[in-house]
Structure 1
Amino acid sequence: MRAMRTTAFCLFLFSSLIFIHHQTNAQPVPAVDENIPHLVTFGGDGETAWGDDDFCQIIFFSIPENYELPVFIRVFDPETGEDIDEQKGEWDTVMRYSVYGGEGACSEEDARRSNLEGNYLSGNLLASKVFTQNPRYNESWYTFGPFNPSEGEFLPEYGGYIFKLVIEGEEGDDGNLYNLFLSTEGKENRPVEGAFAFYFKYKFRLHNDVNEVSHIYPYMTSDVVAIKQSNFDWDNDGFIRIISPAKNGELLASSGDDKWVRSRHKISKDEHNSSLDVQMIKKKSKLVKDNNVVIFLENQYGELMPFYSIPIGGIPEYKYSIGIKPKQ
């Protein structure tokens, strides 16, 4: 319950101040400010060394309480095959996409953990579809919905009505790369005013360009004094650093092939009530192609902390004057 209380302050600030400036950027997943090309989920028979530790991804969408029109969850390239996906042998992967709402969809603690134990498929199943290799959906959109916002789980501490999208690799060993969009329309991407996405464990593909920098944006509430980050299968591809009002590039531990690594980082008062910009910078000496990464954060209580589809309060900048005493 401490995690829910921690998130409450953040989300009320978020919904009250931020969306005026960032409504469009908040709708796609990965978001524009994240500069991440695709999400990734492998088939259930995949090898973890290809960059997926448990073959499942969970994304949450928050719809404002006062929004009453239907919403749609759209998936770009939901099938596994053809152009943007990662092939291993024959295309044989089966992906299931499931949308949940109602009581427990997000409030169930098992849905907000780093593993798949317990009741992570909590809530009411609203829609589900299985995809195999199918040229019809290659680099095309598939739409779930319409959903009435009230079909989500009402959690004011998370900004309104919450829907959960679970992407699972049921069979096969290929990598499914895809993108999402929360929309007011079923046949095109139109942002839902005031809505946003958040995620507790994030799995994605880095760019195949050494000059591209990807970002994720956790928010530090006033009770956070330390974070522990965990990342998987970074492939020693450059470095990960934090930019914040008090940190000018503090390095996080980064993992090797098929390995987990963890590091702990103190959070100062100057970083409270602001986002961190966790930057993923590829090494320039040799391109690591098709690098899939898993990452999550915990607070000092061991509770997972959400990443948001836009940086709450804007992209943070280092304030070099912090801690500098004026000359006498």
Structure 2
Amino acid sequence: MSFLRRLSPVVLLLLFVPLSRARAQAAPNPGENIAFLVTFGAQADKSWGDDDFTQTFFFLIPKQNRQPVYIRVFDPDCGGQHDEIKHGWNTTTEFSLYGGPGTHSAPDARATDPKGQYRSGTLLKQVRFGSEKTYDNQWYTFGPLNPLEGELVPEFEGYVFKMVVQGKSGDDGNLYRYFLSTSPTENVAVEGGNAFTYEYAFRLAATPGRKTHLYPFVNDRVVSIKQSNFDVDGDVGLKIFSVSKNGHPAAVSGNNEWASSTHPITDKEHGLSLDLQLTTLSKAPNDLVFYVTDQYDVALPFFAIPLGGPPRYRYEVDVKIRK
């Protein structure tokens, strides 16, 4: 049974309201409060906030959709207004789009490290960007894409494409973001579309007190989760919120190191999203990496728009009748 069929009518209503549909197309989603994804060049120091110089994102198109779609990338170059320079602009970043069988179903495609068959599927298009100004602060569009060119994922009731971004050379940080669109020239939402990743590398807002939200989806097989983060620099407060967690503290890493903590999952949390809420404590820009695994060390997906909507803690009132 797919996760959509397991959701309650109330949750489905939250999932498919028009506002959610509009926001679902941007990755990162505005509700996450993440300005940019980040991928560094292959010669970068990992202490700058990228553990493997590779980031994979998946784009979900509802199976009933038959209209062409486009995956738009904002600022794919590395050398301008938004990117992070180290020793002169010298970085080349490769964007590779995959579809067809194996795109998502191959186990390596859903792993947190770029090893084995993580580039599974059929390569549809591959583009490299350097420091040229053509796409600085501009959009580059992949497509048109026939949704049927993606891989049908029954659990998500839709077709999935995969974008693998890899720093091929250099040591600068490439900051970019996506939009799943019905137009090649504008950001027009694909109704019911979404985007997700199994390892999130991003730029944290340099505004003390600002809250960032990561939304891992918890399927009904999960008994516990292990959240892992890299190079947070200790500059962030991290708490977990859900229907049954009201701000459980979680471990954060220091500079150039990993940290993790394990948290039990209740039955009430099955089929819903968690909210890993990060509170910025420093004015310094901070690039970092997150992933979440279950008790079997299987990575869980972070959806741009949380399945079931942003979680809200459900208070339980213990009423006792005194005689």
Which category describes the TM-score, using the shorter chain as reference length? over 0.9
Residue 151 in structure 1 maps to residue 149 in structure 2: yes
Residue 303 of structure 2 is matched in structure 1 by 308
CA contact (8 A) 1:94 1:172 kept: yes
CA distance in 2 between partners of 1:325 and 1:202 (Å)? 42
Equivalent-residue separation in structure 1 for 2:32 and 2:256 (angstroms): 24
The residue that corresponds to 1:105 in the other structure is: 103
Of 10, 16, 20, the match for 1:19: 16
**Structure 2 partner of 1:9:** 3
Q: SS of 1:304's equivalent?
A: coil
Identity %: 45
TM-score under structure 1 normalisation?
Answer: 0.93
Deviation at 1:298, TM superposition (A): 0.5
Match for residue 134 of structure 1 among 121, 132, 135: 132
Give the deviation of 1:222 after TM superposition: 2.7
1:33-72 matched pairs, under 5 angstroms: 33-72=31-70
Cross-structure match for 1:181: 179
- Displacement of 1:223: 2.5
Q: CA deviation at 1:158?
A: 2.4
Give RMSD over aligned pairs. 1.7
> What is the CA–CA distance in structure 2 between the aligned matches of 1:119 and 1:222, rounded to whole Å?
27
Matches within 5 A, 1:1-328: 8-9=2-3, 13=7, 17=13, 18-21=15-18, 22-283=20-281, 286-287=282-283, 289-321=284-316, 324=318, 326=320, 328=322
Secondary structure of 1:203's counterpart equals: strand
User: How far apart, CA to CA, are the structure 2 residues paired with 1:113 and 1:279?
Assistant: 23
Paired with 2:59 and 2:7, the residues of 1 have a C-alpha distance of: 17
Structure 2 vs 1, CA of residues 327 and 138 (structure 1 numbering), >3 Å: closer, same or farther? Answer: farther
Q: Quote how far apart the aligned CAs of 1:11 are.
A: 7.8
List 4+ stretches of structure 1 deviating above 3 A: 10-17, 324-328
User: Which SS does the other structure have where 2:148 is aligned?
Assistant: helix
Q: Classify the secondary structure of the residue corresponding to 1:135.
A: coil
Which amino acid in the other structure matches residue 196 of structure 1?
A: N
Q: Which amino acid aligns with 1:315?
A: P
Shift of 1:12: 6.9
Post-superposition offset of 1:315 = 1.4
| Distance (whole Å) between structure 2 residues aligned to residue 271 and residue 13 of structure 1 | 11
Opposite residue 100 of structure 1, the aligned amino acid is Y
TM-score with structure 2 setting the length: 0.94
Matching residue's letter, 1:91: W
Report the secondary structure of 1:157's partner residue.
helix
Greater Cα shift, 106-115 or 215-224:
215-224
SS at match of 2:31: helix
Quote how far apart the aligned CAs of 1:81 are.
0.6
* 1:39 maps to amino acid: L
The residue identity in structure 2 corresponding to 1:230 is: S
Change (3 A) 1:246 1:216: same
Q: Measure the CA separation in 1 of the matches of 2:288 and 2:77.
A: 20
